[in-house]
Structure 1
Amino acid sequence: MTDHSDELPLDGFLRVNALLLPVATTPLLVPMSAIAEIVSDDISITPFEAKDERFYGWIRWRNQTLPLLSFEGLSGTTQLPFTAASHIVILNAIGDASKSSFYGLVLQGFPRRIDIANSGGTRPIEKQKDVPGVLYNAELGAELVRIPDFEFLEMLIAEAPAPNDD
């Protein structure tokens, strides 16, 4: 975890450094402080013993075994195959999943960095109650984005079955 803030006051405005994470549905808007790393190289995925559409399975990252989430599976749509265009974002865990410190999320492309100044460029348009893992729908300029519910994601990670480390 970092002890710096990605929120910087600039002339009375709040600035947030963020990434737009491409998932199959609507892109996720995530602050940089939530992200540990973007993994682009070949990484093997060990599936769970019992099929769970919310997860791809387990990955090895920096000598740790991490659960790998499928945002599509989580939101009730079909889990997309992991392809050469897919990437993995490693997210910092601070709540229920903090025992493992990190977890992964499959992306359907490479993230895009964005600096947001609180000058009307981004605004929440509705709190989400019926899409698991989504806290808000928001507008970023003319683009619809989703703000993830990290508390829900980490609760899900904490409930993941233990990895089979044979």
Structure 2
Amino acid sequence: MLEHRTSNLTGLLLPLADRNLILPNVAVAELIDYQPGAFDLDSPAWYLGQVTWRERQIPLLSFEAACGNKTVIGDRARIVVLNALGGRPHLKFIALLVQGIPRSYKLDSQLSYVDVPLCSLEHAAVQVAEHVAKVPDLLALEELLVGAGLVREGSQAPSGASPLFPS
């Protein structure tokens, strides 16, 4: 008798102003209170400046603005600190503006994909309980920072792995 095995992981649903993102919980280093970042007026709209986390300065981004929408800083705004994946020595963490406290969900490799419009920073959309959640392209977020000259270029991690379930 063959046994069907599925891969499971814990995902975090990140509430944004205009969408939800889903990430493996290991991608998130910490959730912190909102703090305004220090930035230049010449900065791209999606770049909200540098914020202090654990005695280091890390870049704060608005995912909505990076996708061409407005940045919203609501009453429940928080910052999610993400582990950077690109292997750049000068970019170990990225801060992402969220609108509330992320919720934990058990995910398996049999996620239902949803056919909705995606921005260039999104790999896919999936159904997570009653929510449609977008799978963000974290390496593309890092590339935004590098391309805008906000982070020095460094070595990169290999590509090709699934964003939620590596090969």
Please give the TM-score of this superposition, normalised by the length of structure 2: 0.78
Aligned to 2:157: none
Q: How far apart, in 2, do the equivalents of 1:142 and 1:110 lie?
A: 17
Aligned to 2:35: 43
1:30-69 matches, cutoff 5 A: 30-40=23-33, 43-69=35-61
Cα contact 1:96–1:151 (8 A) shared by 2: no
88, 113, 138: which one aligns with 1:124 = 113
Cα contact 1:103–1:157 (8 A) shared by 2: no
Aligned to 1:28: 21
Aligned to 1:79: 71
Q: How many residues get paired?
A: 148
Identity %: 26
10, 18, 27: which one aligns with 2:11 = 18
131, 137, 151: which one aligns with 2:139 = 151
Q: How far apart, in 1, do the equivalents of 2:89 and 2:17 lie?
A: 27
- Structure 2's unaligned 5+ residue stretches are 152-167
Alignment RMSD (CA, Å) = 2.3
- Structure 1's unaligned 5+ residue stretches are 1-10
Aligned to 1:108: 99
**How far apart are residue 57 of structure 1 and its match?**
1.1
Assess, with a 3 A threshold, how the Cα gap between structure 1 residues 153 and 97 changes in structure 2: closer, same or farther. Answer: farther
Task: Give the number of the structure whose residues are more often strand, by fraction.
Answer: 1
Q: How far apart, in 1, do the equivalents of 2:56 and 2:147 lie?
A: 17
Cα contact 2:114–2:132 (8 A) shared by 1: no
Instruction: Indicate whether 1:133 and 2:121 are aligned.
Output: yes
What SS does structure 1 have at the residue aligned with 2:142? helix
Aligned to 2:156: none
Cα contact 1:48–1:58 (8 A) shared by 2: no
**How far apart are residue 140 of structure 1 and its match?**
2.1
